[in-house]
Amino acid sequence: MSAYKILRKGFDSLDVAFQGAMPSGALDVLRSAKALATSEGRAVLVNVGGIDGHVGETGAKGGYAFRFDTGLDGEIWLIKDSRDCEQWNLRVTVRAVQLALDGYDVVRDRLFEKLEKWGAKVITESVARADYAVDFIADELQLRPDDFVFHSHSRCQEHREIPEGGTGFSIERRSGRVTGITVGKMPGRQVTVYDKRLEQIYKVGSPWWKLWGFEKEDCPRVWRVEVRAGKKHLTDWGVKTFGDLEAEAVAMFGAAMQAVRMTAGRDESNVSRLENHPFWDLAVDQVKAALEPYTTDAQRSEILAGTREEILEMYRKQVMGLCVSYAVAQGMSKAEAAEELGDDLTAKWLSLAKGTPAIYGRKYRLASDRLHFLNEKGNFADADANGI
């Protein structure tokens, strides 16, 4: 029986550019939303073609005027303010949660469904990045840099950031323990192994606990093996469209797992004869299944509930801390604060909510907009319409 349990496997990142353009009506909505976001210094919630999203104050480099974010299990769309369908005016980064919940096939189709809802005219697509990841429970696994072998063209040096202009070998450590090893440099190819639980443990509202089927406090150590294919590497493999990716994904990711290997040790001087670590052999087998039908037991409602509870707990701690500071600033003694602070704050709260309904209504709407995607879509019935 294997010492390692597979928790999840599948595509973890997908970036795609589209040759085409948004219709004038959608661009008008985005312009108005960006103007409001800029004037108020916040992202603005709008609906474009039946799809909710936050429009940011800024776009992105490359001439993208608008950033349209559809939530923690959605995508980030970058959109140019142009109706020239011959240009590459649209780019999307799919969030990992959506890929983890629904898999590559559903996500691919959903992107085109959204473009159709918007009335966008699209000529073709170009895949800019595709990552595939396998998550394991492997409590006893220890990463040793010397156990990794890779093609002689890969330059090896120990550092925390891979420098510009070359391929590298990056080692991450925490308290003396190696927690991650990465070979390669984007936008080429990277193969990485790292402690995914450690990466998530300090993040508020991480969805991965529910995706793995654990509570945060009870989750064992989870190691991730991830193959990342950037634009240059995709081009080397002749991958441009979704069809190209589907034709080459298994071979491309599989070749990466052969070019970079985690071995069982360096007793043999000839690295080509070193045996793979059993952990690596298992990862190789899972990568070969990159395009098999995707299944998961995770539910979107569970992910939202877990994320919401972590954020609520963060707010509770902040509120309690501020209440104590408020009492001290008021000159209350510890005993007075314990007895009287609740009444004082309740009176001020009612003064805000009932005495100044316009101010309260605006604050409520802003909070509803900001936290829109923590609830099932359309669940903020009491919030005012944005008006854009």
- The Cα 106–Cα 336 span in angstroms is 58
Report the C-alpha gap between 374 and 94 in whole angstroms. Answer: 18
Residues 308 and 266 occupy one common structural domain? no
| Number of residues that make up the chain | 388
Q: Are residues 274 and 144 in the same domain?
A: yes
Looking at the fold, whether 151 and 256 belong to one and the same domain comes out as: yes
CA distance 317 to 323: 10
Q: Are residues 215 and 358 in the same domain?
A: no
Same domain, 159 and 264: yes
Identity at 168, one-letter amino acid code: G
In a domain, 22, yes or no: no
Q: Is residue 229 part of a domain?
A: yes
Q: Classify residue 228 by its DSSP letter.
A: E
Residues 310 and 261 grouped into a single domain: no
**Domain match, 320 and 344 both:** yes
Q: Per DSSP, what are the bridge partners of residue 309?
A: none
User: Distance (Å, rounded) from C-alpha 283 to C-alpha 281?
Assistant: 5
Amino acid 256: pLDDT: 93
pLDDT at 376: 64
CA-wise closest residue to 252 among 229, 275, 285, 276? 229
Count of CB atoms situated within 10 Å of the CB of 311: 14
pLDDT of residue 385: 41
Looking at the fold, whether 263 and 354 belong to one and the same domain comes out as no
Task: Compute how many other C-beta atoms are within 10 angstroms of the C-beta atom of residue 295.
Answer: 7
223 within a domain of the structure (yes/no) = yes
Mark 157-170 as b/e (b = at least 16 C-beta within 10 Å): eeeeebeeeebbbb
User: Which of 88, 95, 73, 89 minimizes the C-alpha distance to 15?
Assistant: 95
Query: 113 lies in a domain?
Result: no
pLDDT at 151: 60
Residue 6's SS3 state is strand
Domain boundary among 228, 263, 287: 287
Q: How many CB atoms lie within 10 A of CB 75?
A: 22
Contact 287, 227 (CB under 8 A): yes
Tokens of 98: 């959506």
Q: What backbone torsions phi and psi does residue 317 show, to the nearest 5 degrees?
A: -65, -40
pLDDT digits (tens, 9 = 90+) for 153-208: 443 333 333 333 345 678 888 888 899 999 988 899 999 999 999 999 988 889 99
Residue that terminates a domain, selected from 255, 287, 319: 287
Same domain, 268 and 222: yes
> What pLDDT sits at residue 2?
58
Q: 303-351: per-residue pLDDT in tens?
A: 888 888 889 999 999 999 999 999 999 999 999 999 999 999 999 999 9
CA distances from 197 to 217, 299, 307, 375 (A): 11, 20, 16, 25
Regarding whether 227 and 359 lie in a shared domain, the answer is no
Query: What's the rounded Cα separation, in Å, for the pair 304 and 79?
Result: 27
Three-state DSSP class for residue 129: strand
Look at residues 244, 260, 287 and tell me which one is the last residue of a structural domain. Answer: 287
Is residue 381 situated within a structural domain?
no
Cα angle, residue 259 at apex, residues 256 and 262 outer, rounded to 5°: 100
Indicate the number of domains in the chain.
2
Whether residue 51 lies inside any domain: the answer is: no
List of the chain residues with pLDDT < 50: 1, 152-166, 378-388
In a domain, 177, yes or no: yes
Whether residues 255 and 142 share a domain: the answer is yes
Q: How many CA atoms lie within 13 A of 356 on its CB side?
A: 10
- Show the DSSP H helices in 42-161 as ranges: 96-118
The vertex-366 CA angle with 361 and 369, nearest 5°, equals 120
Rounded Cα gap, residues 134 and 335, in angstroms: 54
The C-alpha atoms of residue 379 and residue 372 are separated, in whole angstroms, by 8
- What gap in Å lies between CA 175 and CA 179, rounded to an integer? 9
Residue 288 has a pLDDT of 85
Q: Do residue 266 and residue 139 come from a single domain?
A: yes
Instruction: Tell me, yes or no, whether 268 lies in a domain.
Output: yes
Beta carbons within 8 Å of 379's beta carbon, 6+ residues apart: none
Domain containing 184: what range?
Answer: 5-9+131-287
